[in-house]
Amino acid sequence: MLQQALDFEEESKALHNLLQDLDEADFEQETLFKSWTINDVIGHLHMFNVAAELSLKDEPAFLKFSEGLMEALNEPGGMLGFTNAWLDGLKGRALFAAWIENSVSMARAFEPIDPKRRLKWIGPDMSALSYVTARLMETWAHGQAIYDLCGVERENHDRIRNIAVMGVNTFGWTFRNRELPVPEPAPYVRLIAPSGAIWEWNDPAAGSRVEGEAVAFCQVVTQVRNVADTELVATGDTAEQWMALAQCFAGPPNDPPAPGTRYRQESFRSAEAPPG
């Protein structure tokens, strides 16, 4: 059993619970992430979840999708334009229903898969474990923009350890992706899990360290918060540089949001939003 598949399903259901009472028009509300609407965020998650299941079940169809996406990224509409074309008018509550149905379907498809099985992706092949962990990370990270828009403080769970591990493991990638030398040794990382457990990585004697809440660390490495907007403590030049540039996801170098630009807002809804 691939535990990360179950974790992905639970994270998807939490986001579903947040949004289940939205009206059709509410899906056009803009988030603080590139002014994407809720429709844009859910559409993005849905498309790549479908692509993940295609890679598992129908590799030729996935490769056709991948080729189309790569071509579109060089066009003016870019990612969002390709997504909207792929959705072909699907939006609002119909998109919402399709997204959660496929999220469950994808999780169930990955659950019995050998974690080491190699699957095609946009770029290098990935293991099934990395694949489904990436879907969990994207759901959690993009979902943050919606929680912020709804004015809801998310109830996090220890399943975010998957994201923290990804953040620690991409320390070197953050620098190589920017064609910078990778500092050594990697900083010691000590995080407090949502449950209160202590998670630790690397050598405590490294001389450089990152300490604080695991949620804050995950927010920084997924670039949903600037480190200056968290209580995460980075000690030493290497740790400070890493937290200023951290990027746990693939693709060209992305800068984190500027300080103060991503935060929990006043809810746009007249009634209190349901808990996540």
**Per-residue model confidence as pLDDT tens digits over 189-223:** 999 999 999 999 999 999 899 999 999 999 999 99
Q: Is 127 helix (H, G, I), strand (E, B) or coil?
A: strand
In tens, the pLDDT along 65-109 reads 999 998 888 888 889 999 999 999 999 999 999 999 999 999 999
CATH class assigned to 3-155:
mainly alpha
CA distance 212 to 253: 25
Which residue intervals of 58-196 are DSSP H helices? 59-72, 78-87, 92-110, 128-150, 161-169, 171-176
Quote the pLDDT of residue 275. 47
Quote the pLDDT of residue 160. 98
pTM to 2 decimal places: 0.94
Residues of the chain with CATH 1.20.120.450: 3-155
Indicate whether 36 pLDDT > 70. Answer: yes
Distance of CA 146 to the CA centre of its chain: 12
Q: Is 106 helix (H, G, I), strand (E, B) or coil?
A: helix
Q: Is 141 helix (H, G, I), strand (E, B) or coil?
A: helix
Residues of the chain with CATH 3.30.1050: 161-245
Quote the pLDDT of residue 124. 86
Quote the pLDDT of residue 273. 44
Percentage of the residues of the chain whose pLDDT score is greater than 70: 97
In tens, the pLDDT along 224-275 reads 999 999 999 999 999 999 999 999 998 889 999 999 999 999 998 754 444 4
- Mean pLDDT (the chain) is 95
Quote the pLDDT of residue 1. 85
Hey, which CATH number is domain 161-245, 3.30.1050, 3.80.30, 3.30.70, 3.30.2000? Answer: 3.30.1050
* Average confidence (pLDDT) over 100-128: 95
CA distance 57 to 128: 12
Task: Please list, residue by residue across 166-195, b when 16 or more beta carbons sit within 10 angstroms of its beta carbon and e when fewer do.
Answer: bbbebbebbbebeeeeebeebbbbbbbbbe
Q: In which band, very low, low, confident or very high, does the pLDDT at 64 lie, cut at 50, 70 and 90?
A: very high
Contacts of 2 (CB under 8 A, 6+ apart): 110, 111, 112, 113, 115, 128, 129, 132
